[in-house]
Amino acid sequence: MKFQALLAALAATLLDEASAKAFRQRRAEDLASRIEGETTIALQGVLNNFGPDGSEAPGASAGVLIASPSTDNPNYYYTWTRDAALTLKMVVDEFLHGKGDLQPYIRDYVKAQAIVQTISNPSGALGSGRGLGEPKYYANLTRFNGDWGRPQRDGPALRATALITYSRYLLSTGIDSDGTEADNIWPIIQNDLNYVAQYWNQTGFDLWEEVDGSSFFTTAAQYRALIEGATLGQRLQQDVSAYESQAPNVFCFLQTFWNGNYAVANINVKQSGFSRSGIDANTVLTSIALFDPDAVCDDTLFQPCSSRALANLKQYIDAFRTIYTINQGVSESGAGVATGRYAEDVYFNGNPWYLTTLAVAEQLYDAIQQWSTVNTISIDDESLAFWQSVYPSAQPGSYTKGGSSNFTKLTDAVLTYADGFVETALKYTPENGALSEQYSRENGTSLSAHDLTWSYASFITMRAARLAATSDYSQVSSWGSPSKLEVPTVCTPSSVKGTYKPAVAAGAPSDAPSCTYLVAFNLNATTFYGENIYLFGSSSDLGDWRVSDALAGSAASYSDARPLWTFTVELPAGADLEYKFLRKEPSGEVLYEVENRSLEVPECGDESPGEQTVEDSWNGPVGNQME
Q: Which residues are catalytic?
A: 206, 209
Q: 479 — phi, psi (to 5°)?
A: -95, 5
Quote the CA–CA distance of 627 and 531 in Å, as a whole number.
12
Quote the CA–CA distance of 254 and 298 in Å, as a whole number.
13
Omega before 609 within 30 of 0, i.e. cis: yes
Alpha-carbon dihedral angle through residues 366, 371, 374, 375, given to the nearest 10 degrees:
-150
User: What residue type is 18 in one-letter code?
Assistant: A
Task: Spell out the residues 6+ positions from residue 488 whose beta carbon is closer than 8 angstroms to its own.
Answer: 248, 249, 251, 252
Given CA atoms 135, 140, 142, 148 in this order, what sign does their dihedral have? negative
Q: 319, 342 in Cβ contact below 8 A? A: yes
Q: 239, 233 in Cβ contact below 8 A? A: yes
Quote the CA–CA distance of 479 and 158 in Å, as a whole number.
13
353 labelled binding-site residue: no
User: Closest by alpha carbon to 129, among 214, 216, 202?
Assistant: 202
Q: 444, 326 in Cβ contact below 8 A? A: yes
Q: 429, 340 in Cβ contact below 8 A? A: no
Burial, 147: exposed, middle or buried (Cβ in 10 Å; 0-12, 13-18, 19+)?
Answer: exposed
Q: 469, 365 in Cβ contact below 8 A? A: yes
Number of Cα atoms under 13 Å in the Cβ half of residue 550: 20
What residues pair up with 447 in beta bridges, in sequence order? 438
Q: 478, 369 in Cβ contact below 8 A? A: no
What residues pair up with 376 in beta bridges, in sequence order? 400
User: What residue type is 161 in one-letter code?
Assistant: T
Task: Spell out the residues 6+ positions from residue 203 whose beta carbon is closer than 8 angstroms to its own.
Answer: 212, 213, 214, 268, 270
User: What residue type is 514 in one-letter code?
Assistant: S
Quote the CA–CA distance of 525 and 564 in Å, as a whole number.
6
Q: 433, 37 in Cβ contact below 8 A? A: yes
Quote the CA–CA distance of 438 and 356 in Å, as a whole number.
9
Q: 212 — phi, psi (to 5°)?
A: -95, 110
Q: 290, 255 in Cβ contact below 8 A? A: no
Instruction: Provide the annotated binding site for substrate.
Output: 148
Could you list the residues known to form a binding site, using ranges. Answer: 148
